[in-house]
Chains A and B, each alone.
Chain A
Amino acid sequence: MDHHLILRVVTRLLVAPILLFGLYVQFHGDFGPGGGFQAGVIFAVALILYGIVFGLSRLRSIFPDRWVMRLLAFGLLLYAGVGVVSLIQGGNYLDYNVLLPSAKAGQHYGIIVIELGVGITVFGVMMAIYYGFAGRPPSIEDTDW
Protein backbone atom coordinates (compact mmCIF):
# COMPACT_ATOMS: atom_id res chain seq x y z
CA MET A 1 0.00 0.00 0.00
CA ASP A 2 3.01 2.27 0.52
CA HIS A 3 3.76 2.83 -3.17
CA HIS A 4 0.28 4.30 -3.72
CA LEU A 5 1.24 7.36 -1.67
CA ILE A 6 1.16 9.75 -4.66
CA LEU A 7 -2.26 8.54 -5.75
CA ARG A 8 -3.65 8.92 -2.23
CA VAL A 9 -2.32 12.46 -1.80
CA VAL A 10 -3.55 13.59 -5.22
CA THR A 11 -6.94 12.00 -4.63
CA ARG A 12 -7.33 13.81 -1.31
CA LEU A 13 -6.39 17.02 -3.09
CA LEU A 14 -8.84 16.50 -5.95
CA VAL A 15 -12.02 15.04 -4.45
CA ALA A 16 -13.25 18.34 -3.00
CA PRO A 17 -12.65 20.41 -6.21
CA ILE A 18 -14.39 17.71 -8.26
CA LEU A 19 -17.44 17.87 -5.98
CA LEU A 20 -17.39 21.68 -6.20
CA PHE A 21 -17.15 21.51 -9.99
CA GLY A 22 -20.08 19.09 -10.02
CA LEU A 23 -22.19 21.63 -8.09
CA TYR A 24 -21.05 24.39 -10.50
CA VAL A 25 -22.12 22.33 -13.52
CA GLN A 26 -25.39 21.51 -11.77
CA PHE A 27 -26.47 25.04 -10.90
CA HIS A 28 -24.88 26.79 -13.87
CA GLY A 29 -26.64 24.42 -16.26
CA ASP A 30 -29.45 26.81 -17.12
CA PHE A 31 -27.03 29.59 -18.23
CA GLY A 32 -24.14 27.69 -19.79
CA PRO A 33 -22.96 24.26 -20.74
CA GLY A 34 -23.86 21.64 -18.20
CA GLY A 35 -26.93 20.36 -16.48
CA GLY A 36 -28.19 17.53 -14.37
CA PHE A 37 -26.80 14.61 -16.35
CA GLN A 38 -23.22 15.85 -16.46
CA ALA A 39 -23.30 17.11 -12.88
CA GLY A 40 -24.57 13.78 -11.58
CA VAL A 41 -21.78 11.93 -13.38
CA ILE A 42 -19.10 14.38 -12.15
CA PHE A 43 -20.41 14.15 -8.58
CA ALA A 44 -20.34 10.35 -8.77
CA VAL A 45 -16.85 10.39 -10.29
CA ALA A 46 -15.45 12.07 -7.17
CA LEU A 47 -16.81 9.31 -4.94
CA ILE A 48 -15.79 6.55 -7.39
CA LEU A 49 -12.24 7.96 -7.49
CA TYR A 50 -12.22 7.89 -3.69
CA GLY A 51 -13.46 4.30 -3.77
CA ILE A 52 -10.85 3.19 -6.30
CA VAL A 53 -7.93 4.67 -4.36
CA PHE A 54 -8.99 4.14 -0.74
CA GLY A 55 -10.93 0.91 -1.14
CA LEU A 56 -14.57 -0.02 -1.45
CA SER A 57 -15.15 -0.58 2.28
CA ARG A 58 -14.12 3.00 3.16
CA LEU A 59 -16.38 4.38 0.43
CA ARG A 60 -19.26 2.23 1.72
CA SER A 61 -18.73 3.61 5.23
CA ILE A 62 -19.09 7.23 4.04
CA PHE A 63 -21.78 6.54 1.41
CA PRO A 64 -23.83 3.49 2.51
CA ASP A 65 -25.63 1.29 0.00
CA ARG A 66 -29.08 2.15 1.30
CA TRP A 67 -28.56 5.78 0.22
CA VAL A 68 -28.22 4.72 -3.41
CA MET A 69 -31.82 3.55 -3.74
CA ARG A 70 -33.08 6.47 -1.64
CA LEU A 71 -31.38 9.01 -3.89
CA LEU A 72 -32.63 7.26 -7.05
CA ALA A 73 -36.21 7.37 -5.79
CA PHE A 74 -35.90 10.92 -4.43
CA GLY A 75 -34.53 12.34 -7.70
CA LEU A 76 -37.25 10.75 -9.80
CA LEU A 77 -39.88 11.85 -7.28
CA LEU A 78 -38.58 15.44 -7.43
CA TYR A 79 -38.81 15.42 -11.23
CA ALA A 80 -42.29 13.90 -11.31
CA GLY A 81 -43.40 16.05 -8.37
CA VAL A 82 -42.81 19.27 -10.33
CA GLY A 83 -45.06 17.90 -13.06
CA VAL A 84 -47.75 16.98 -10.56
CA VAL A 85 -47.54 20.42 -8.92
CA SER A 86 -48.06 22.08 -12.30
CA LEU A 87 -51.04 19.76 -12.88
CA ILE A 88 -52.51 20.83 -9.54
CA GLN A 89 -51.95 24.50 -10.43
CA GLY A 90 -54.13 23.98 -13.51
CA GLY A 91 -51.56 23.65 -16.31
CA ASN A 92 -50.25 20.75 -18.35
CA TYR A 93 -47.84 18.19 -16.93
CA LEU A 94 -44.41 19.90 -16.44
CA ASP A 95 -45.83 23.27 -17.51
CA TYR A 96 -43.40 25.63 -15.75
CA ASN A 97 -45.44 28.76 -16.52
CA VAL A 98 -48.04 28.06 -13.82
CA LEU A 99 -45.64 26.94 -11.07
CA LEU A 100 -45.11 30.41 -9.57
CA PRO A 101 -47.17 33.62 -9.78
CA SER A 102 -45.09 34.97 -12.69
CA ALA A 103 -44.34 32.80 -15.73
CA LYS A 104 -40.73 34.01 -15.87
CA ALA A 105 -39.99 32.94 -12.28
CA GLY A 106 -41.83 29.69 -12.89
CA GLN A 107 -39.63 28.87 -15.90
CA HIS A 108 -36.50 29.81 -13.94
CA TYR A 109 -37.14 27.77 -10.80
CA GLY A 110 -38.90 24.96 -12.63
CA ILE A 111 -35.84 24.12 -14.72
CA ILE A 112 -33.55 24.35 -11.66
CA VAL A 113 -35.66 21.87 -9.67
CA ILE A 114 -36.01 19.55 -12.68
CA GLU A 115 -32.23 19.56 -13.24
CA LEU A 116 -31.67 18.89 -9.54
CA GLY A 117 -33.91 15.83 -9.78
CA VAL A 118 -32.05 14.63 -12.89
CA GLY A 119 -28.67 15.22 -11.20
CA ILE A 120 -29.60 13.30 -8.05
CA THR A 121 -30.98 10.40 -10.09
CA VAL A 122 -27.94 10.18 -12.37
CA PHE A 123 -25.65 10.34 -9.32
CA GLY A 124 -27.58 7.48 -7.74
CA VAL A 125 -27.49 5.42 -10.94
CA MET A 126 -23.71 5.89 -11.34
CA MET A 127 -23.12 4.86 -7.74
CA ALA A 128 -25.46 1.87 -8.18
CA ILE A 129 -23.50 0.74 -11.29
CA TYR A 130 -20.16 1.18 -9.49
CA TYR A 131 -21.34 -0.68 -6.39
CA GLY A 132 -22.87 -3.36 -8.61
CA PHE A 133 -19.59 -4.00 -10.42
CA ALA A 134 -17.08 -3.34 -7.64
CA GLY A 135 -18.99 -5.16 -4.93
CA ARG A 136 -19.26 -8.38 -6.96
CA PRO A 137 -17.23 -11.28 -5.58
CA PRO A 138 -14.41 -12.15 -8.02
CA SER A 139 -15.14 -15.19 -10.20
CA ILE A 140 -11.40 -15.67 -10.86
CA GLU A 141 -8.86 -15.50 -8.07
CA ASP A 142 -5.94 -13.09 -8.57
CA THR A 143 -3.45 -15.97 -8.53
CA ASP A 144 -5.26 -17.91 -11.29
CA TRP A 145 -4.55 -15.47 -14.13
Chain B
Amino acid sequence: MIDLSSGLGWLTWDFLIDAMSWVLIFSGSFFLFIGSLGMLRLQDFWSRLHAASIIDSAGVGLLLFGMMLQGGFTLATLKLAFIVIFLFITGPTASHAVANAAFVSGSRPMDLVEDVTTKRKRKKKVGKK
Protein backbone atom coordinates (compact mmCIF):
# COMPACT_ATOMS: atom_id res chain seq x y z
CA MET B 1 0.00 0.00 0.00
CA ILE B 2 1.14 3.49 -0.80
CA ASP B 3 0.90 5.88 2.10
CA LEU B 4 -1.44 8.50 0.67
CA SER B 5 -1.44 10.82 3.65
CA SER B 6 2.02 12.13 2.87
CA GLY B 7 1.44 12.04 -0.90
CA LEU B 8 3.87 11.16 -3.65
CA GLY B 9 6.71 13.65 -3.71
CA TRP B 10 5.43 16.94 -5.08
CA LEU B 11 1.96 15.41 -5.56
CA THR B 12 0.57 16.10 -2.08
CA TRP B 13 -3.08 16.21 -1.01
CA ASP B 14 -2.80 19.97 -0.45
CA PHE B 15 -1.55 20.41 -3.98
CA LEU B 16 -4.38 18.25 -5.38
CA ILE B 17 -7.07 20.11 -3.45
CA ASP B 18 -5.57 23.46 -4.44
CA ALA B 19 -5.40 22.41 -8.08
CA MET B 20 -8.99 21.17 -8.08
CA SER B 21 -10.29 24.34 -6.44
CA TRP B 22 -8.31 26.47 -8.91
CA VAL B 23 -9.83 24.55 -11.82
CA LEU B 24 -13.33 25.01 -10.37
CA ILE B 25 -12.83 28.70 -9.63
CA PHE B 26 -11.36 29.39 -13.08
CA SER B 27 -14.16 27.55 -14.87
CA GLY B 28 -16.69 29.38 -12.70
CA SER B 29 -15.14 32.72 -13.67
CA PHE B 30 -15.19 31.58 -17.30
CA PHE B 31 -18.95 30.94 -17.09
CA LEU B 32 -19.47 34.28 -15.36
CA PHE B 33 -17.60 36.00 -18.19
CA ILE B 34 -19.52 34.10 -20.89
CA GLY B 35 -22.81 34.89 -19.18
CA SER B 36 -22.12 38.61 -18.84
CA LEU B 37 -20.87 38.79 -22.43
CA GLY B 38 -24.03 37.03 -23.59
CA MET B 39 -26.25 39.38 -21.61
CA LEU B 40 -24.58 42.34 -23.32
CA ARG B 41 -24.16 41.00 -26.84
CA LEU B 42 -27.01 38.61 -27.63
CA GLN B 43 -29.81 40.24 -29.59
CA ASP B 44 -32.95 38.54 -28.32
CA PHE B 45 -34.68 38.51 -24.92
CA TRP B 46 -34.76 34.72 -24.71
CA SER B 47 -31.10 34.21 -25.54
CA ARG B 48 -30.11 36.94 -23.09
CA LEU B 49 -32.19 35.21 -20.41
CA HIS B 50 -30.35 31.98 -21.20
CA ALA B 51 -27.00 33.75 -20.70
CA ALA B 52 -28.19 35.28 -17.42
CA SER B 53 -29.31 31.93 -16.04
CA ILE B 54 -25.86 30.45 -16.84
CA ILE B 55 -24.36 32.97 -14.40
CA ASP B 56 -26.80 31.89 -11.68
CA SER B 57 -26.26 28.17 -11.84
CA ALA B 58 -22.97 27.27 -13.54
CA GLY B 59 -20.88 30.36 -12.78
CA VAL B 60 -21.65 30.96 -9.12
CA GLY B 61 -22.09 27.23 -8.44
CA LEU B 62 -18.59 26.35 -9.66
CA LEU B 63 -17.09 29.33 -7.82
CA LEU B 64 -18.71 28.24 -4.56
CA PHE B 65 -17.59 24.62 -5.02
CA GLY B 66 -14.04 25.89 -5.49
CA MET B 67 -14.33 27.95 -2.31
CA MET B 68 -15.70 24.91 -0.45
CA LEU B 69 -12.54 22.97 -1.38
CA GLN B 70 -10.45 25.83 0.03
CA GLY B 71 -12.53 25.90 3.20
CA GLY B 72 -12.07 22.23 4.15
CA PHE B 73 -14.38 20.66 6.73
CA THR B 74 -15.39 23.87 8.51
CA LEU B 75 -18.52 25.84 9.29
CA ALA B 76 -17.75 28.13 6.34
CA THR B 77 -18.03 25.14 3.98
CA LEU B 78 -21.40 24.23 5.45
CA LYS B 79 -22.64 27.77 4.90
CA LEU B 80 -21.34 27.71 1.32
CA ALA B 81 -23.15 24.39 0.79
CA PHE B 82 -26.39 25.98 1.98
CA ILE B 83 -25.81 28.90 -0.40
CA VAL B 84 -25.28 26.45 -3.28
CA ILE B 85 -28.46 24.52 -2.41
CA PHE B 86 -30.64 27.63 -2.16
CA LEU B 87 -29.07 29.15 -5.29
CA PHE B 88 -29.83 25.98 -7.24
CA ILE B 89 -33.46 26.22 -6.12
CA THR B 90 -34.02 29.94 -6.52
CA GLY B 91 -31.94 30.77 -9.63
CA PRO B 92 -33.82 28.58 -12.13
CA THR B 93 -37.11 29.55 -10.45
CA ALA B 94 -36.37 33.24 -10.99
CA SER B 95 -35.45 32.58 -14.64
CA HIS B 96 -38.66 30.58 -15.00
CA ALA B 97 -40.73 33.43 -13.54
CA VAL B 98 -39.16 36.00 -15.90
CA ALA B 99 -39.57 33.74 -18.95
CA ASN B 100 -43.14 32.93 -17.96
CA ALA B 101 -44.04 36.61 -17.60
CA ALA B 102 -42.47 37.39 -20.99
CA PHE B 103 -44.28 34.49 -22.66
CA VAL B 104 -47.65 35.44 -21.19
CA SER B 105 -47.22 39.05 -22.28
CA GLY B 106 -46.71 37.89 -25.88
CA SER B 107 -42.93 37.82 -26.44
CA ARG B 108 -41.73 34.98 -28.70
CA PRO B 109 -38.25 33.87 -29.86
CA MET B 110 -36.81 35.59 -32.93
CA ASP B 111 -37.56 33.14 -35.76
CA LEU B 112 -41.00 32.26 -34.45
CA VAL B 113 -42.87 34.76 -36.63
CA GLU B 114 -45.99 32.69 -37.03
CA ASP B 115 -47.28 32.29 -33.50
CA VAL B 116 -48.01 28.58 -33.24
CA THR B 117 -47.87 28.38 -29.46
CA THR B 118 -50.81 30.64 -28.62
CA LYS B 119 -52.99 29.08 -31.30
CA ARG B 120 -52.54 25.62 -29.86
CA LYS B 121 -53.19 26.91 -26.34
CA ARG B 122 -56.43 28.63 -27.28
CA LYS B 123 -57.76 25.53 -29.02
CA LYS B 124 -57.09 23.49 -25.90
CA LYS B 125 -58.87 25.99 -23.66
CA VAL B 126 -61.91 26.07 -25.95
CA GLY B 127 -61.98 22.27 -26.06
CA LYS B 128 -61.89 22.05 -22.27
CA LYS B 129 -64.76 24.44 -21.80
Cβ of B93: which chain A residues have Cβ within 8 Å of it?
6-7, 10
The yes or no answer to A13 lying at the interface (CB within 8 A) is yes
The reply to whether the CB of B16 lies closer than 8 angstroms to some CB of chain A is no
A6 in contact with B96 (CB, 8 Å)? yes
When distances are taken between beta carbons in the complex, the residues of chain B under 8 Å from A4 are: 100
Contact in complex: B89, A3 (CB < 8 Å): no
Docked Cα-Cα span, A13 to B85, in Å, equals 12
From residue 1 to 22 of chain A, which have CB atoms closer than 8 A to chain B? 3-4, 6-7, 10, 13-14, 17
Cα A100 to Cα B110 with chains together (Å)? 69
| A13 / chain B contacts, CB cutoff of 8 Å | 89
Give the complex CA separation of A13 and B93 in angstroms. 12
Of B89, B96, B97, which is within 8 A of A14 by CB? B89
Q: How far is the CA of A71 from the CA of B93 in the complex (A)?
A: 32
CA distance in complex: A24, B51 (Å): 34
Question: In the complex, what's the smallest C-beta–C-beta distance from A89 to chain B, in angstroms?
Answer: 38
Are the C-beta atoms of B90 and A14 separated by less than 8 Å? yes
The residues of A that contact B96 with a CB separation of less than 8 Å are: 6-7
Would you call B86 an interface residue if the criterion is a C-beta within 8 Å of the partner chain's C-beta atoms?
A: yes
State which residues 77-104 of B face A: CB under 8 Å.
86, 89-90, 93, 96-97, 100, 104
A46 to B90, CA, bound (A): 14
Q: Are A17 and B86 in contact (CB under 8 A)?
A: yes
Residues on B with C-beta less than 8 A from A17 are: 86
- In whole Å, how far is A64's beta carbon from the nearest beta carbon of chain B? 28
Residues of A within 8 A of B104 (CB): 3
For A3, the chain B residues whose CB sits under 8 A away are 100, 104
CA separation between A4 and B97, bound complex, in Å?
8
Which residues of the other chain, A, contact B100 by a CB distance below 8 angstroms?
Answer: 3-4
Would you give 15 A-B contacts (Cβ < 8 Å), ordered by A?
A: A3-B100, A3-B104, A4-B100, A6-B93, A6-B96, A7-B93, A7-B96, A7-B97, A10-B89, A10-B93, A13-B89, A14-B86, A14-B89, A14-B90, A17-B86
